[in-house]
Amino acid sequence: MKIVKFIFLILLVYSYPIFLQGKLDWNQFRGATGQGHASSELPVVWDSDGSNLLWRTKLEGKAWSSPISTEDEIIVSNARTDTSSNKLFLEAISIDPKDGKRNWRSILFEYSNLPRIHRKNSYASPTPFYDGNRIYFHFGNLGTACMEKNGQVVWKKTFNYSPVHGSGSSLIAFGELLFFSADGADDPCLYALNKKDGSITWKARRTSNAKKNFSFCTPLVIPAGNSFQIISPASDWCFSYDLTGREIWKSNYRGGYSVVPRPIYFKGLIYVSSGYDHPTLYAIAVDGVGEVTKRKVRWSTGKAVPRNSSPVIVNGLLFMVSDAGVVSCLDALTGEVKWMERVAGSTSASLIQAGGMIYLTDEEGTTYVFQAKPSFVLQATNSLQERTLASGMAYENTLVLRTENALYRIGKVNKPKK
């Protein structure tokens, strides 16, 4: 009976990601799995002068959210400011993937002042989520909204909490619920909303006493036994909750705060970075109950660990890039270092894996493509010469990158026959 129940849960909650191939490869931050995996090969070589560049669409305003896709459109959240009137416009934009032209644009929230944020942040850093039916947009405490694919607003809500340096945690959908972290200056917690109307289903308050409560981590839902766990790293602790908001376990990384990298999951282990000031990567077994720090941490490392970029696992190898651009390859089960190389410049974007390659885009807009193998082989270096902190996305056999000024779609250009 338990096996039947578990299969039913998998089909019920994961029914749409099973079919997320090609066009629906990237329905949320870090793709259908939430862990940076593309289902098809991506271009390896391109440049800003037109080699394998399908189109470039200029975007007004500034946002570091990632693009996502529905069946037939590319979706981005965006923030525009009017400095003359000090107004802020938070909006949703639909782009036609064929030519990069805008299908529609909708202003979701408008403010008459500009909240203070960190210089590296934006007012639209959280990434939208498409659940196969509707699109969900999140701007932290500045607003959350649900939209139909045609741009019609279904509902809009604001939630009163006080982020530090602005917002960064992306919203995720699972079953009939939406989850997002609200780790601000006070009362840090994880929210669960009803997808239908945006009402609060529950709030799980962090059982911690961190000196610095603020963090920006996007949760990850994983299968566990005959149910699921919501893995939600925050300041000082990584928390696991069930789907009712009950805390299952927590593991401590004392002094860690401003946690950004999204966790990844592999063979019963969850991998989390402790964030600032001294990031440490922890591999934690998820079968514990209560305070599990001493019992369930399988290995940890403090060498070249990211504060911002999320890692990726390929064939049992864990790849990560530090903020300084140093890439490491480790055995995911033991933590053994296979290689470590300085590859890129300053890096914030998360890694993407596609066709046996790892894609790393640094803050200067240069993407380094190297093989996902236990020895370092750099395949290509591609520069768009535009600043970027946003993570890229896969769309069919193409790569979509967001820079400070534009959205690029990169793929094979079919040249006309002579």
Q: Give the pLDDT band (50/70/90) at residue 11.
A: very low
Q: Report the C-alpha dihedral over residues 299, 300, 301, 306, rounded to 10 degrees.
A: 130
pTM for the whole thing? Answer: 0.94
Q: Give the pLDDT band (50/70/90) at residue 25.
A: confident
Whether residue 221 contacts residue 236, with contact meaning beta carbons closer than 8 Å, is answered with no
Q: Give the pLDDT band (50/70/90) at residue 114.
A: confident
pLDDT for 172 equals: 98
Q: Give the pLDDT band (50/70/90) at residue 415.
A: low
Residue 27 CA to residue 55 CA, distance in Å, equals 21
CA 169 to each of CA 80, 138, 184, 355: distance values in angstroms, whole numbers, following the listed order: 20, 9, 11, 28
pLDDT for 3 equals: 44
What's the mean pLDDT in 400-408? 97
**Quick check: 1 pLDDT over 50?**
no
131 dihedral zone (left: phi>0; alpha: psi -120 to 50; beta): alpha
CA 15 to each of CA 20, 157, 310: distance values in angstroms, whole numbers, following the listed order: 9, 27, 25
The ranges assigned to domains in the chain are 2-410
Task: Phi first, then psi: give them for residue 49, nearest 5 degrees.
Answer: -90, -5
**Quick check: 218 pLDDT over 70?**
yes
Average pLDDT over the chain, rounded to an integer: 93
What is the CATH topology of the domain spanning 2-410?
A: Methylamine Dehydrogenase; Chain H (2.130.10)
What's the mean pLDDT in 163-176? 95
The residue type at 168: G
pLDDT for 417 equals: 52
Helices (H) then strands (E): counts for the chain: 2, 33
The number of beta carbons lying within 10 Å of the beta carbon of residue 73 is 19
pLDDT for 134 equals: 98
Residues 117-133: tens digit of each pLDDT: 999 999 999 999 999 99
What's the mean pLDDT in 251-261? 95
Residue 137 CA to residue 406 CA, distance in Å, equals 20
